[in-house]
Chains A and B, each alone.
Chain A
Amino acid sequence: MSDERTKLERAIARALRDDRISRRSFLRKAGRGGIYAGGALSLPAILAACGIGSSSSPSAGAMASPVGGGEPSGTLIFANWELYIDPDENDNPQNSPTLVAFKDETGIETTYTENILDNQSFFAEIQPDLAAGNPPGYDIIVMTDWMIGNMIRLGYLESFDVARDVPNFVANAADKYKNPSYDANNLHSVPWQSGITGIGYNPALVSEEITSMAQLLDPAMAEKYTGQIGMFTEMRDSMSFALLHNGVVPKDATEADVEAARDVLLAQKPHVRGYFGNDYVNGLSDGTLAMTMAWSGDVFQLQFDNPDLKFVVPEEGAMLWVDNMAIPKGAAHPNDALAMMDHVYKPEAAAQLAEWVNYICPVPAAQDIIRQHADEAESQEDKDYLAAVAESPLVFPTEEMLSRLHSYKVLDEAEERVWNEMFQEVVQG
Chain B
Amino acid sequence: MSGWLRRHRAVVPYLFLVPGGLWLTVFFLVPVLTMASVSLQEGTLGSGYRLTFNFGAFPEAITRWDGQLIRSLQYGLVVTLLTLLIGYPMAYTIAFRGGRYKSILLLLVIMPFFTSFIIRTISWKFILADQGVVLGTLKDLGWVDAGFRILATPAAVIAGITYNFLPFVVLPLYVALEKIDHRLIEAATDLYASRVQAFLRVTLPLSLPGVFAATLLAFIPAVGDYINAELLGSPGETMIGNVIQRLYLVNNDYPQASALSLILMIGILLSVFAYTRLLRGQELTG
Query: What residues of chain A have their CB less than 8 Å away from a CB belonging to chain B?
Result: 8, 11-12, 15-16, 18, 37, 40-42, 45-46, 49-50, 52-57, 120-121, 123-124, 127, 131, 150, 154, 226-227, 233, 235, 269, 272-275, 286-288, 413, 417, 420-421, 424, 426-429
Q: For B34, what are the chain A residues with a Cβ–Cβ distance below 8 Å? A: 50
Task: Write the nearest CB–CB distance from B1 to chain A, whole angstroms.
Answer: 37
Q: For A272, what are the chain B residues with a Cβ–Cβ distance below 8 Å? A: 234-235
Instruction: Give the interface size bracket for B toward A.
Output: 35 or more
Q: Choose among B45, B119, B126, B238 the residue that contacts A124 (Cβ–Cβ < 8 A).
A: B45
B242 interfacial by beta-carbon distance below 8 Å: yes
20 A–B contacts, CB within 8 A, in A order: A8-B119, A12-B119, A15-B122, A15-B230, A37-B116, A37-B118, A37-B119, A40-B227, A42-B249, A50-B31, A52-B254, A53-B48, A54-B48, A55-B50, A120-B249, A227-B149, A286-B132, A420-B251, A424-B246, A424-B251
Q: A11-B122, A41-B245 are in contact. Are A124 and B48 (CB under 8 A)?
A: no
Q: For A50, what are the chain B residues with a Cβ–Cβ distance below 8 Å? A: 31, 34
Docked complex Cα distance between A286 and B48 (Å): 44
Asked whether B235 lies within 8 Å of A275 as measured between CB atoms, the reply is yes
Asked whether A18 lies within 8 Å of B235 as measured between CB atoms, the reply is no
Q: For B234, what are the chain A residues with a Cβ–Cβ distance below 8 Å? A: 272-274
Q: For A417, what are the chain B residues with a Cβ–Cβ distance below 8 Å? A: 44, 251, 253
Q: For B231, what are the chain A residues with a Cβ–Cβ distance below 8 Å? A: 15
Asked whether A286 lies within 8 Å of B129 as measured between CB atoms, the reply is yes
Q: A37-B116, A127-B45, A428-B243 are in contact. Are A274 and B251 (CB under 8 A)?
A: no
Q: A12-B122, A56-B48 are in contact. Are A49 and B251 (CB under 8 A)?
A: no
Q: A55-B50, A428-B68 are in contact. Are A274 and B250 (CB under 8 A)?
A: no
Which among B129, B152, B235 has the highest number of chain A CB atoms within 10 Å? B235
Docked complex Cα distance between A428 and B50 (Å): 28
Q: Considering only CB atoms, which chain A residue lies closest to B257 in the complex?
A: A49
Q: Choose among A15, A124, A428 the residue that contacts B242 (Cβ–Cβ < 8 A).
A: A428
Asked whether B130 lies within 8 Å of A12 as measured between CB atoms, the reply is no
Task: Tell me the B209-253 residues at the A interface (CB within 8 Å).
Answer: 226-227, 230-231, 234-235, 238, 242-243, 245-253
B20 interfacial by beta-carbon distance below 8 Å: no
Q: For A37, what are the chain B residues with a Cβ–Cβ distance below 8 Å? A: 116, 118-119
B49 interfacial by beta-carbon distance below 8 Å: yes
Q: A8-B122, A37-B118, A273-B234 are in contact. Are A288 and B249 (CB under 8 A)?
A: no
Q: For B19, what are the chain A residues with a Cβ–Cβ distance below 8 Å? A: none
Q: A8-B122, A52-B254, A424-B251 are in contact. Are A288 and B50 (CB under 8 A)?
A: no
Q: A40-B245, A428-B68, A428-B242 are in contact. Are A49 and B254 (CB under 8 A)?
A: yes
Docked complex Cα distance between A56 and B68 (Å): 36
New A-B pairs, 4, CB < 8 Å, besides A55-B49, A420-B253, A428-B242: A52-B48, A273-B152, A275-B235, A413-B46
B47 interfacial by beta-carbon distance below 8 Å: yes
Q: For B48, what are the chain A residues with a Cβ–Cβ distance below 8 Å? A: 52-57, 131
B147 interfacial by beta-carbon distance below 8 Å: yes
Q: Choose among A49, A269, A286, A429 the residue that contacts B131 (Cβ–Cβ < 8 A).
A: A286
Asked whether A150 lies within 8 Å of B46 as measured between CB atoms, the reply is yes
Asked whether A124 lies within 8 Å of B246 as measured between CB atoms, the reply is no
Task: Tell me the B44-68 residues at the A interface (CB within 8 Å).
Answer: 44-50, 67-68
Docked complex Cα distance between A46 and B238 (Å): 21
Docked complex Cα distance between A167 and B216 (Å): 65
Asked whether A55 lies within 8 Å of B43 as measured between CB atoms, the reply is yes
Query: What residues of chain B have their CB less than 8 Å away from a CB belonging to chain A?
Result: 31, 34, 38, 41, 43-50, 67-68, 116, 118-119, 122-123, 125-126, 129-132, 147, 149, 151-152, 226-227, 230-231, 234-235, 238, 242-243, 245-254, 257
Asked whether B251 lies within 8 Å of A127 as measured between CB atoms, the reply is no
Q: Considering only CB atoms, which chain B residue lies closest to A426 in the complex?
A: B235
Docked complex Cα distance between A105 and B285 (Å): 78
Task: Write the nearest CB–CB distance from A38 to chain B, whole angstroms.
Answer: 8
Q: For B38, what are the chain A residues with a Cβ–Cβ distance below 8 Å? A: 49, 52
Asked whether B251 lies within 8 Å of A269 as measured between CB atoms, the reply is no
Q: For A53, what are the chain B residues with a Cβ–Cβ distance below 8 Å? A: 48
Asked whether B46 lies within 8 Å of A57 as measured between CB atoms, the reply is yes
Task: Write the nearest CB–CB distance from A43 to chain B, whole angstroms.
Answer: 11
Docked complex Cα distance between A39 and B130 (Å): 27
Q: Choose among B47, B116, B227 the residue that contacts A413 (Cβ–Cβ < 8 A).
A: B47
Q: A41-B245, A57-B46, A274-B235 are in contact. Are A52 and B41 (CB under 8 A)?
A: yes
Docked complex Cα distance between A417 and B122 (Å): 32
Asked whether A235 lies within 8 Å of B250 as measured between CB atoms, the reply is yes
Q: Which 10 A-B pairs have the closest CB atoms?
A: A55-B48, A420-B251, A413-B44, A428-B238, A287-B131, A52-B49, A274-B234, A288-B130, A50-B34, A45-B249
Q: A50-B34, A413-B46 are in contact. Are A120 and B252 (CB under 8 A)?
A: yes
Asked whether A127 lies within 8 Å of B46 as measured between CB atoms, the reply is yes
Task: Write the nearest CB–CB distance from A161 to chain B, whole angstroms.
Answer: 27
Q: Considering only CB atoms, which chain B residue lies closest to A269 in the complex?
A: B235
Task: Write the nearest CB–CB distance from B169 to chain A, whole angstroms.
Answer: 24
Asked whether B46 lies within 8 Å of A154 as measured between CB atoms, the reply is yes
Task: Write the nearest CB–CB distance from B139 to chain A, whole angstroms.
Answer: 11
Docked complex Cα distance between A46 and B30 (Å): 13
Asked whether B250 lies within 8 Å of A420 as measured between CB atoms, the reply is yes
Docked complex Cα distance between A55 and B50 (Å): 8
Task: Write the nearest CB–CB distance from B125 to chain A, whole angstroms.
Answer: 8
Q: For B252, what are the chain A residues with a Cβ–Cβ distance below 8 Å? A: 120, 124
Q: For A428, what are the chain B residues with a Cβ–Cβ distance below 8 Å? A: 68, 235, 238, 242-243, 246
Task: Write the nearest CB–CB distance from B102 to chain A, whole angstroms.
Answer: 32
Q: Choose among A120, A269, A286 the residue that contacts B250 (Cβ–Cβ < 8 A).
A: A120
Q: For B123, what are the chain A residues with a Cβ–Cβ distance below 8 Å? A: 8
Docked complex Cα distance between A428 and B240 (Å): 9
Task: Write the nearest CB–CB distance from A253 to chain B, whole angstroms.
Answer: 18
Task: Write the nearest CB–CB distance from B150 to chain A, whole angstroms.
Answer: 12
Which among B34, B132, B252 has the highest number of chain A CB atoms within 10 Å? B252
Which among A16, A42, A154 has the highest number of chain B CB atoms within 10 Å? A16
Q: For B45, what are the chain A residues with a Cβ–Cβ distance below 8 Å? A: 52, 123-124, 127, 413
Asked whether B235 lies within 8 Å of A427 as measured between CB atoms, the reply is yes
Q: Considering only CB atoms, which chain B residue lies closest to A19 in the complex?
A: B250
